Amino acid sequence: MDIMRVAITGAQGRMGLNLIRAAQKEHINLRSVLVKPGSTLIGHDAGELIGINKIGIQITDNIYNIIDHFDCLIDFTNKKSTLANLNICHKYRKSMVIGTTGFNQEDYQLINRLSNDIPIILSANFSIGMNVVLKLLEKTAKIIGNNSDIEIIEAHHCNKIDAPSGTALTMGKTIANIMNWEFDQHAIYSRKGIIGKRQKKSIGFSVIRAGDIIGEHTAMFSNIGERIEITHRVSDRMNFALGAMKATKWLQGKKYGFFNMWDVLGLSSV
């Protein structure tokens, strides 16, 4: 089997730079690097971006310039860009690893539909640790969910544009699924003024946006006299990038399908 050729988009961003570094570290067959239109980086070598020698990959802002040079696109950009790239990858039968968040239900339905023709891994968080946390949330909710006040608290840097984070929503949906709750009917996003007693069977979300916080998430299960807190903190974006490389390697040889990091890590049946 030929080694899958990989392209990375959003290379000018903090996550994009870490993806390039991780690809080099994990010996991924990186062939192409994309930046936003009009970037001053166009024409430079991708190695220069991460402070190493030239690696023979010229940066471009046009996916059609490289469409024959990659088999899988890694995309951690934004909703608009990712969906545009998704349609192109579907047309040309390229696989995708997607770490973008902020999708709505219609977007998820589109991604799911296109995965009937191409393989797609979509995850709000590619950290191995966070995916273990999600499995712990399943176990905890199953045992004490009905007897607990459930809160999710998340903190990110001041430049993050969506709230709550995709990871926080995934945590909530994981809990709701175990409780057989319709997530949208049980999620509480805003509290202000005289709100009365806490609603039973609800999942509250609290959001912090400050400084350069990379990502912190806590799920709290509280009862009278005790509480359980399950927390995950990230101190380096390379954590996400290395998870994305693991997912990319796992995708090799897949013809179609809609996958997530639980599939990659073998946690789906745990």
> What residue numbers does the annotated binding site cover?
10-15, 54, 99-101, 123-126, 157, 166-167
90 is catalytic: no
> What residue numbers does the annotated binding site for NADP(+) cover?
54
Please give the structure tokens belonging to residue 106.
């219609």
Q: Are 107 and 78 in contact (CB under 8 A)?
A: no
197 is catalytic: no
Q: Are 66 and 41 in contact (CB under 8 A)?
A: no
Catalytic, out of 94, 156, 186, 217: 156
Catalytic, out of 36, 44, 135, 160: 160
> What residue numbers does the annotated binding site for NAD(+) cover?
10-15, 99-101, 123-126
Sheet holding 59-60, edge to edge: 59-60, 30-34, 6-9, 72-75, 95-98, 119-122, 257-259
Q: Are 35 and 46 in contact (CB under 8 A)?
A: no
Compute CA distances 199 → 35, 187, 191, 193, 204, whole Å. 46, 10, 12, 15, 9
Report the DSSP beta bridge partners of residue 158: none
Sign of CA dihedral 27, 95, 108, 13: positive
Residue numbers annotated as active site: 156, 160
